Structure 1
Amino acid sequence: MRLQSDPRALPAWADSYIGIPFAEVDRGRAGTHCYGLVSLVARERFGLTLPPEPDGSDPHELARNATAFMNAALDFAEIPLGQEAPGDIALLRHGGCASHVGVVIASGWMLHLERATRCLPERLAERLWSRRLVGLYRHPDLASSARVAA
């Protein structure tokens, strides 16, 4: 049996996102920012369309208001840690505010990317991320439908 901390337990579909480079402007697989990555995975893997960033918005300013944006744009349900599932969104503190998002790919794991990295899987329980986790959120269409099998 594979443990949640075992990277071999990650779904094969996640491999196609690992290594996507960071970009200030969302260009999909050619380069994106954290919200762009979450939107890309939501669309390609789960058939969901997340709200676009408001026109003229600086990605960093939008990220600073990520909680309000998510709550206003869609009725996301907050999920307790340990009950997360693929497709859920991890909202994390970065620079002292809720300004970073990742997408859950397996229980205890998320994909994310930052300015200094390419997209990579990280354990939610890692000290760095567990201290920064603000909450886990589920899109209403995932809350009411069967999950895509990993």
Structure 2
Amino acid sequence: MSWSDRYVGTPYEDFGRSREGCDCWGLACIIYREELGISLLDYLGDYASPEELGEVAALIDRDRVSPLWVPVAGPAVAFDIALFRRGRLNTHVGITIRHGLMIHMREDDCAKVESYAAGPWMHRFEGHYRHVSRAVEHPVQIVSEVRR
């Protein structure tokens, strides 16, 4: 049994941040809180609706370069955030179970485990991000600044 099995079947709900219902970021918030003891920003009130893809993408793009998230250069590990495009915008996240496998919310359905190494998510994949509290690697620019 994997930790992810506890979340499979969690129902979808716009702006949801609980086990009674959540969206893709809500699922990340729940998993990080329950499995890692990390409270992520909930972004409630930061976008008008899930249909406002430009607003959602702007939040994601802003925060993926914040000091809280480290881009992962090598293989992903459990709990890394996998970022995906829908159309041309970065608007969907999954939580890595192991490299190539994620749990994520299927809109208007529920949380499911799916591969992103093949199938429809493979071509939408944008990158992995690791919470700074779990980072074992750092971006090259930070490493080079420390050596100076």
Range into which the TM-score falls when normalised by the shorter chain? 0.7 to 0.9
Q: Cα distance, 1:116 vs. partner?
A: 3.2
For 2:63, the aligned partner's letter is F
Cα contact 2:97–2:103 (8 A) shared by 1:
yes
Identical-pair percentage: 30
Match in the other structure for 2:65? 71
Q: Cα distance, 1:117 vs. partner?
A: 2.5
Q: Cα distance, 1:70 vs. partner?
A: 3.3
Aligned CA distance change for structure 1 residues 126 and 84 (closer, same or farther; 3 Å): same
Match in the other structure for 2:130? 138
Displaced runs of 4 or more, over 2 A: 54-63, 69-72
Gaps of 5+ in 1: 1-10, 145-150
Cα contact 2:17–2:27 (8 A) shared by 1:
no
Match in the other structure for 1:53? 43
Matches of 2:76 and 2:15, distance apart in 1 = 28
Q: Deviations over 1:87-138 (max 9, x none)?
A: 1000100133100011011222111013232100111212311100011000
Structure that is richer in strand per residue? 2
Gaps of 5+ in 2: 137-148
Matches of 1:70 and 1:109, distance apart in 2 = 20
Are 2:83 and 1:88 equivalent residues in the alignment? no
Aligned CA distance change for structure 1 residues 54 and 119 (closer, same or farther; 3 Å): closer
**Greater radius of gyration (CA):** 2
Are 2:19 and 1:26 equivalent residues in the alignment? no
Root mean square deviation of aligned Cα: 2.0
Matches of 1:114 and 1:59, distance apart in 2 = 17
Q: Report which stretch shifted further, 31-40 or 52-61.
A: 52-61
Q: Deviations over 1:16-72 (max 9, x none)?
A: 100011101214110000000011111111111112205352353442221213323
Q: TM-score, normalised by structure 2?
A: 0.80
